[in-house]
Copies of this chain bind each other. A is one copy, B any other.
Amino acid sequence: MKFSIQKDRFAQSVQDVLKAISSRTTIPILTGIKIDAGTEGIKLTGSDSDISIESFIPKEEEEILLADIKQTGSVVLNARFFNEIVKKLPSDTIEIEVISSFQTVIRSGQAEFNLNGLDPEEYPHLPRIEEEEVFTLPTDLLKAMVRQTVFAVSTSETRPILTGVNWRVENGVLSCIATDSHRLALRQAAVETMSGAEYNVVIPGKSLSELSKILDDSQDVVEIVITENQVLFRAKHLLFFSRLLEGNYPDTSRLIPTDSKTKLELNAKEFLQAIDRASLLAREGRNNVVKLSMIGEEMIEISSNSPEIGKVTEQVKSHAVEGEELKISFSAKYMMDALKALEGTEINIQFAGAMRPFVIRPQHDDSTLQLILPVRTY
């Protein structure tokens, strides 16, 4: 194997595949990054066996030479060192050559690194996915759907299925749902499927977070292939594989109340900042709880207190207060997470009583909602 390659592009690809590589793996070869020099370009692979990422650099793009492949071949190099070395190389081009028994020389400017490589034959094969069914999403929409749901997955392994996000495709609509059983996030969007295929799978939250970090903010489409135990996201020059979680995701549709006893309209930013201030003192308590109560037709009050430190109250204008008067307590953190996830400047909150879950939606947008279970304090 011998090639020279443009440094910045190569460094970016190394960064990307590095996101799949864990230093805590029990399989030594997976601490490495696999480099394949083929006749068409350079392929980099990283994997922790849950997530696998493949990044491809074509030898030429838009008539600009990116890589000059002198000899094809493969090697596996320690990912952590290789990444740090590539970033700090002095020249705009890098030459990489396997000289003997996986000994690899990296040359750039006057610097020459000689790394002990590993046998690429020992590197596990990535899942092979037969592409029968594909659906597509623009990259920015895919990232928004991940951002608006993934924060609500459970971080506890008590119910492993809740550490993932439930992705369902039915009647041309993709629904992404996450819940840790104290709150729930839902986002829907239309997708184009071939032959009306339907899916119901659970993707690990961690996989979706890493995917989101790698994808740029373009509107290029990402192709999504779902199989029995794997999902593949295919963007330009990038393949992202994740295993799926096994088991049945709970039916969350019954959780979302359909009736409403009290309704508020609020400016999202003002409300978020008031909750943030109230949470400063709430944080000292065990559960970070703030109280909300109505004090008139167009005003609510947010309050919290910590006996040792003090208390805080703040009035927030509501554009409309409808229905029964209400006092309710909830986690400031969950509310802030939910408000940050919603797009739009004005939000509605619908309460079905002080002990029932309540629903937060952006005004004039039915594609997304956030649900929070109240805390019993009154």
Is A113 positioned at the interface, with any CB of B under 8 Å from its CB? yes
| Chain A positions 38-84 with a Cβ under 8 Å from a chain B Cβ | 78, 81, 84
Q: Are B314 and A273 in contact (CB under 8 A)?
A: no
| Chain A positions 299-339 with a Cβ under 8 Å from a chain B Cβ | 308-316
Is A254 positioned at the interface, with any CB of B under 8 Å from its CB? no
Is A195 positioned at the interface, with any CB of B under 8 Å from its CB? no
Q: Are B111 and A314 in contact (CB under 8 A)?
A: yes
Contacts of A363 in B (CB 8 A): none
Q: Are B273 and A316 in contact (CB under 8 A)?
A: no
Contacts of A112 in B (CB 8 A): 312-314
The residue on B at minimum CB distance from A84 is B280
How extensive is the interface on chain A, given as a class? 20 to 34
The residue on B at minimum CB distance from A85 is B280
* Alpha-carbon gap, A316 to B110, bound state (A): 7
Is A276 positioned at the interface, with any CB of B under 8 Å from its CB? yes
Q: Are B115 and A280 in contact (CB under 8 A)?
A: no
Is A88 positioned at the interface, with any CB of B under 8 Å from its CB? yes
Is A252 positioned at the interface, with any CB of B under 8 Å from its CB? no
Q: Which of A113, A115, A116 has the most CB of B within 10 A?
A: A113
Is A90 positioned at the interface, with any CB of B under 8 Å from its CB? yes
User: 1/0 contact trace for A276-311 toward B, CB 8 Å?
Assistant: 110011000000000000000000000000001111
How many copies of this chain? 2
Is A89 positioned at the interface, with any CB of B under 8 Å from its CB? yes
Q: Are A277 and B115 in contact (CB under 8 A)?
A: no
Cβ of A100 to closest chain B Cβ, rounded Å: 13
| Chain A positions 361-376 with a Cβ under 8 Å from a chain B Cβ | none
Given A85-B277, A89-B277, answer yes or no on A308-B116 (Cβ-Cβ < 8 Å).
Answer: yes
Contacts of A274 in B (CB 8 A): 90, 110-111
* Alpha-carbon gap, A86 to B12, bound state (A): 41
Cβ of A238 to closest chain B Cβ, rounded Å: 27
Contacts of A312 in B (CB 8 A): 111-114
* Alpha-carbon gap, A115 to B85, bound state (A): 52
Q: Which of B84, B115, B315, B316 touches A310 (beta carbons < 8 Å)?
A: B115
Given A114-B311, A308-B116, answer yes or no on A88-B277 (Cβ-Cβ < 8 Å).
Answer: yes
Cβ of A270 to closest chain B Cβ, rounded Å: 8
Q: Are B88 and A273 in contact (CB under 8 A)?
A: yes
The residue on B at minimum CB distance from A303 is B112
Q: Which of B116, B281, B310 touches A309 (beta carbons < 8 Å)?
A: B116
Cβ of A2 to closest chain B Cβ, rounded Å: 17
The residue on B at minimum CB distance from A314 is B111
Cβ of A1 to closest chain B Cβ, rounded Å: 16
Q: Which of B78, B110, B280 touches A315 (beta carbons < 8 Å)?
A: B110
Q: Are B113 and A310 in contact (CB under 8 A)?
A: yes
A-B contact pairs, 11 of them (CB 8 A): A84-B280, A88-B280, A111-B274, A111-B313, A111-B314, A112-B313, A113-B310, A114-B310, A114-B312, A115-B309, A115-B310
The 7 closest A-B pairs by CB, nearest first: A115-B310, A111-B314, A110-B315, A113-B312, A114-B310, A114-B311, A116-B310
Add 18 more A-B contacts to A88-B277, A90-B277 (CB < 8 A): A81-B280, A81-B281, A84-B280, A85-B277, A88-B280, A89-B277, A110-B274, A111-B274, A111-B277, A112-B314, A113-B277, A113-B281, A113-B310, A113-B311, A114-B310, A115-B310, A116-B308, A116-B310
